[in-house]
Amino acid sequence: MKIAIPQWQDRVSPVFDVAASLLVVDMANGREEARVTVELTATDPLRRAQQVARLSPDVLICGAVSWPLEMALASAGVRVLSQICGGIDEVLKAFANGDLAQDRFLMPGCCGRRRVRGGRRRRGSGFGKRRGDG
């Protein structure tokens, strides 16, 4: 599985739309196999989504993301897990263990509901079930 995370100072970038770089991690069986950092040059939502889609990530884990960019990513086949914050390595570990739904990874000020677009939640996808989710 290929995971993309916009990064800023070894943390998930708070706003994907203006993030300068993207960490792309190849994982297999819950273990990291490789990682590469890619500079994000596109600022237009459609072009940024195309730039990300060319990297072929299965999922993008990010903080805040604008609706047009999120929809463009979903249309390109990239599953978006937004409103996530924390250190990159901690977030990757939580995703691999299915623990990303913990409140400590929820962006401050978020309404308490996570938005998942671009695909359905699947068991073992790294995005766990929260109390109140159906």
For domain 2-117, say whether CATH 3.30.70.270 is its number: no
Q: Which pTM does this prediction carry?
A: 0.81
* Interhelix angle 67-75/45-53, nearest 10 degrees: 40
Q: What percent of the chain has pLDDT over 90?
A: 76
Which residues pair with residue 25 across a beta bridge? 3, 35
Concatenated DSSP letters for the chain? -EEEEEEETTEE-SBGGG-SEEEEEEEETTEEEEEEEEE----SHHHHHHHHHTT--SEEE-SB--HHHHHHHHHTT-EEE-SB-SBHHHHHHHHHHT-TTSGGGBPTT--S---EESS---TTSS----TT--
Through-space distance between the first and last CA atoms of the chain, rounded to whole angstroms = 26
pLDDT at 65 over 90: yes
Residue 47 CB neighbour total at 10 angstroms: 12
Q: Which residues, in sequence order, are CB contacts of 40 under 8 Å at separation 6+?
A: 6, 19, 20, 21, 22, 48, 51, 52
Question: Which tens digits make up the pLDDT trace of 80-132?
Answer: 999 999 999 999 999 999 999 999 999 887 655 444 444 433 334 454 444 44
